[in-house]
Structure 1
Amino acid sequence: MSIGTLIKRIQDIMRQDSGVDGDAQRISQMVWLLFLKVYDAKEELWEFYDENYQSIIPEELRWRNWAVDEKDGKALTGEKLLDFVNNELFPTLKDLKVDETSEKRQAIVKYIFEDVYNYMKNGTLLRQVINVLNEVDFTEHEERHAFNDIYENILKDLQSAGNSGEFYTPRPVTEFIIEMLKPQIGESIADFASGTGGFLISAISYMESQIKTPDDKKTIQRNLFGIEKKPLPYLLAMTNLILHDIDSPNLLHDNSLSKNVRDYKEEDRYNVIAMNPPYGGTEEEAIKVNFPVNMQSSETADLFMTLIMYRLKKNGRAGVILPDGFLFATDGVKKNIKEKLLSEFNLHTIVRLPEGVFSPYTDITTNLLFFDKTGATNEIWYYQHPLPEGYKKYTKTKPIKKQEFQSEIAWWNNRKENDFAWKVSIEEIKDRQYNLDIKNPMQKEEKEERTLTEILNELEENFASSSHLIGLLRGELNE
């Protein structure tokens, strides 16, 4: 059975349940169930290698003891299953006792369930979902890694799941950024708004070829760090990291901006930072005071850029996704942040992405900023990411692909100006009052002849995008 078919079967069952409203709730419901099944499979491995291993989950609440249908008529279903989940399983997991001595791989169960809910109201349908999940054996290496396909399906659904769409960064983008940052075993790697863990997973995959000993794997695990504020992406990230054999993920469910940046010491800094900071959001006054007065902003992307600068080690390197708005602002906080960035860091490359990379969540054009803490910026190289032939922009049905970054990769270590690449001196940047929104000088504006059908299609897409944005804003207001 294909993974896509499995996901569709689960979604079709959940759509019959009156308690599950929309894609975001379906995904949340599916993922807490997946987490418990995956965790149980990992516990089987931990028990095999450690005869003294003790589960933090009470025996009767472990997946193997209540979720598996032995076809003997004793499996929980209907009202009995609902009563068990709502009145025994959830209250117990939310109230697990953990402290500073608790193993991280055990404590994560409590952290996961602090903000998770059972939305299903039909115990018979819940049993059907559980039975479908039990068709996958996560103790088997091949099936465990097939979760990547499940995960990709879930992430694609997240793109149109209301205000959850903000958590998704296309995998080709995370892989390209990581490949350009070239993390090495022994280096510390962080994402302070880790969402579903895309950058951390890409970093693990990149370093796999460097692993020579079991200690190398432990070193990777010890040096990965993430923070995520919202419960659904946190749950997704935890589940995926565990399936990538990161048994004790250094992933916190917290707000990265809640600590005063001036309090960070050397041990709080990282060699590599890769991020897609949330933008368009706002932060309260209590958060803003954690930043220097000239960098206090309500815009989350501004605050995260400042945070990155305070948490990057000497000689460290960063890759950050930011919208055009950050580039072209020439006054206020954004200018102050860019002034600090260019005077204290080497912003060596800006890759300009075309429209639609984050479709359907937003059509806002974005940029990949690469900088390191090796001294001030002397010049910035720009690279205009070319669209595939015949494309006017990326869309949900025509997403960006990893192989489309080959032109940047081929150019990266042998930089020359061409139709897509140009460089700008720091003097010109200063003359422009730190406006970094510099268009490709080789690109001529072409008057586009369009048919009526093409215009109507564009209007439809813009209308859909606007409706989606209204849905996001309504979701934020409801929260």
Structure 2
Amino acid sequence: MITGEIKNKIDKIWTDIWAGGITQPLTVIEQLTYLMFIRSLDEKEIENESLEALGLEAAKKVFPQTDEGQAMRWSKFKDKDAREIYEIIGQRVFPFIKTMNNNESSAFSRYMGDAMFLIPTPQVLQKIITGLDELYEHDIKDHDMQGDLYEYMLGKLSVAGQNGQFRTPKHIRDMMVKLLAPTPDDRICDPACGTAGFLVSSAEYIRQKYESQMTAEQWQRFEGDAFTGFDTDRTMLRLSAMNLMLHSITNPHINYADSVSKRNDISDVYDVILANPPFTGTIDEESIHDNLKAVCNTKKTELLFVALFIRMLNIGGRCACIVPDGVLFGTTKAHKALRQELVENQNLQAIISMPSGVFKPYAGVSTAVLVFSKTNAGGTDKVWFYDMKSDGFSLDDKRNDLGNDGDISDIVARFHNLKDEADRKRTEQSFLVDKEEIKSNDYDLSINRYKEIEYEKVEYDPPEVIMARLDELAIDLGSKMEELRGLLENE
């Protein structure tokens, strides 16, 4: 975890960039990402040189072994005059990282082609470099802390994207990962990855639970093949590749793709899908893949993505995804067809209704987490419903930390022990509903359809008792007023 002192240092760097004229948070993060990447290249080179000095095998050199090439290293230019630093990075280092590895070696390099260096002045650049260097030298000790720093910066993205996508809070992502409990042998995908938050949370979970027992083959998979993400925004792809790199995933499969289009033919590949797909907007009907329209004939992205998740999963694969409440009770043919598909042809396990404030300040939309596994042969017996009241943060725009995790620990514990939920009443926070009851309700999956509310009977005193009490209060108030007047007259 990063401390308040570290946050203050990051905020100071952020303020310096804003003062220089860059006020779009996404642009600020992108520019900081480039500089963090440039510094990481020099750290890698220093590590290689240390191995060589010990007579050990080292990786291929990062920088050209010429005077000009070595001058591009962070450790060589960081203490130079501001104007010289600005020229070195803008004219030499930035073009170098855009073309390094022939755009093949890493996901980050692949999406650098249209990147732009936008730091406005030498003075602003020097302040950023000094601030970052102090952070790395004194505060950031390992990859976990680098990831926490990056997560904190991403938290400053306070607006939703044009297509309705926005960053999923880390504690919600972590909850969803714990529900699915991925292993080192799973192939994990987010078909609408944004900044790769779900992939990062999955990686953290696997490292925390399995790190001491993972084989060399599993570690090799962990560094690349285990994690796949797709997005249509190249800026997001750059950010997600960097985010994963800072979490020790050096070569993830981060690809530019419109996941629901006819160009995406992926099916029966992944063991785990975690996603928060775009909620708003529609897409060109002609571009939608036919096998998605076969599940639910619609142009609504929130429905098409759920159909996509079913297609992309292996048999036995599992999914946890966030959907707007409308997916659960919408009355169109497409809404009903998708819900019927989940209930009748797959194994729908859980609906976790989340409070509308979870995604503030991005949006106030009410959402739920769908949890299901792919069978293509049914398997839904009972569906578990949970009415989340709190996620550990205030539900207003400020989202203040309440000092606990709200209902999250309870949700995870109960989900992994559903046999004990059988006797829960509909008046409680979680309960099971038979498949046949859901079917009889036109496959409505909204928790309010099944939840029962207990109304407490309130007994009021008879009117004459209430009136007598008011009379007593009036007499008491009158005496106090007289006492106050006496005090004022004596002054």
CA-to-partner distance for each residue in 1:409-435, whole Å, 9 max, x for gaps?
Answer: 232213232411122222232232222
**Once the two structures are superposed, what CA deviation does each residue of 1:49-103 show, in whole Å capped at 9, x if it has no partner?**
743513388977879735446687xx2533x54444444444444345637xx4x
Larger radius of gyration: 2
Distance 1:366 1:62 in 2: 51
CA RMSD across the alignment = 3.3
Which residue of the partner structure matches residue 30 of structure 1? Answer: 32
Superposition map of 1:49-64 within 5 A: 50-55=57-62
1:119 corresponds to 2:95: no
- The 8 Å contact of residues 48 and 59 in structure 2, kept in 1 or not, is answered as no
Structure 1: state its 5+ residue gaps: 448-479
For residue 445 of structure 1, report the CA deviation from its aligned partner: 7.6
The answer to which structure, 1 or 2, has the higher relative contact order (CA under 8 A, 6+ apart) is 1
Q: Deviations over 1:194-251 (max 9, x none)?
A: 1222211111121122132451322323322222322333233222221222121222
Where 1:435 maps in the other structure, the secondary structure is coil
- Change in 2 beyond 3 A, CA 1:265/1:296: same
- Counterpart contact for 1:276–1:321, Cα < 8 Å: yes
- SS of residue in 1 equivalent to 2:432: strand
Task: Determine the C-alpha separation between the residues in 2 that align with 1:368 and 1:291.
Answer: 24
Aligned with residue 266 of structure 2, among 261, 264, 267: 264
Counterpart CA distance in 2 for 1:149 and 1:431 is 47
**How high is the TM-score relative to the length of structure 2?**
0.78
SS of structure 2 residue aligned to 1:186: coil
Matched, 1:197 2:196: yes
d(CA) in 2 for partners of 1:58, 1:325 = 59
Q: How far off is 1:302 after superposition?
A: 1.6
Residue number in structure 2 paired with 1:426: 435
Measure how far apart 1:143 and its partner are: 4.1
2:347 counterpart of 1:338: no
Change (3 A) 1:23 1:97: closer
Q: Any idea what the Cα deviations from partners look like across 1:263-308, whole Å, max 9, x if unmatched?
A: 4354xx1111111111113323343245444434332222211110
Is 2:387 the counterpart of 1:384? yes
Q: Secondary structure at the match of 1:315?
A: strand
Query: CA shift at 1:378, angstroms?
Result: 2.6
**TM-score of the aligned structures, taking structure 1 as reference length:** 0.80
Partner of 1:137, secondary structure, is helix
For 2:349, the equivalent position in structure 1 comes to: 348
Q: Distance in 2 between matches of 1:60 and 1:281?
A: 53
| Residue in structure 2 matching 1:415, options 395, 417, 421 | 421
2:447 counterpart of 1:438: yes
- Tell me if structure 2 keeps the 8 A contact 1:177–1:319: yes
For 1:198 and 1:427, locate their aligned partners in 2 and report how far apart those are by CA, in whole Å: 36
Please say if residues 350 and 369 of structure 1, whose CA atoms lie closer than 8 Å, have aligned partners that are also in contact: yes
CA distance in 2, matches of 1:89, 1:149: 26
Match of 2:242 in 1: 239
Q: Which residue of 2 aligns with 1:98?
A: 102
3-state DSSP class of the match of 1:12?
Answer: helix
Is this contact kept in 2: 1:137–1:143, CA < 8 A? no
SS at match of 2:165: helix
CA–CA distance in 2 between the matches of 1:26 and 1:63? 27
Which of 12, 16, 23 is residue 13 of structure 1 equivalent to? 16
Residues 15-414 of structure 1 aligned to structure 2 (within 5 Å): 15-18=18-21, 20-45=22-47, 48=51, 50-55=57-62, 65-68=72-75, 75=80, 77-78=82-83, 80-96=84-100, 98=102, 102=104, 106-137=105-136, 142-160=141-159, 166-208=165-207, 209-211=209-211, 212-213=213-214, 215=216, 216-221=218-223, 222-260=225-263, 263-266=265-268, 269-294=269-294, 295-374=296-375, 375-376=377-378, 377-387=380-390, 393=395, 395-398=397-400, 402=405, 404-412=407-415, 413=417, 414=420
Q: Mark the CA change 1:52 to 1:277 in structure 2 (over 3 Å): closer, same or farther.
A: closer
Is 1:349–1:371's contact at 8 Å kept on the other side of the alignment? yes
Amino acid at match of 2:206: M
1:287–1:43 distance in 2 versus 1, CA, 3 Å: farther
Q: Distance in 1 between matches of 2:435 and 2:130?
A: 61
Q: Which moved more, 1:144-153 or 1:132-141?
A: 132-141
* Residues 149 and 220 of structure 1, relative CA distance in 2, 3 Å threshold: closer
Specify the code of the residue in structure 1 equivalent to 2:29.
Answer: I
Distance in 2 (CA, whole Å) between partners of 1:331 and 1:88 is 56
Residues 156-212 of structure 1: CA deviation (Å, up to 9, x unaligned) = 211348769933111111111111111112121111111222211111121122132
Identity of aligned residues (%): 26
Q: Kindly tell me the number of residue pairs found equivalent between the two proteins.
A: 434
Corresponding residue of 2:477: none
Distance 2:256 2:40 in 1: 20
Segment drifting more, 292-301 vs 178-187: 292-301
* Unpaired runs of at least 5, structure 2: 458-491
In 2, Cα distance between equivalents of 1:139 and 1:189: 35
Aligned AA (2:222)? I
Aligned partner of 2:484 in structure 1 is none
Going from structure 1 to structure 2, the CA distance change for 1:62 and 1:237 (only over 3 Å counts) comes to farther
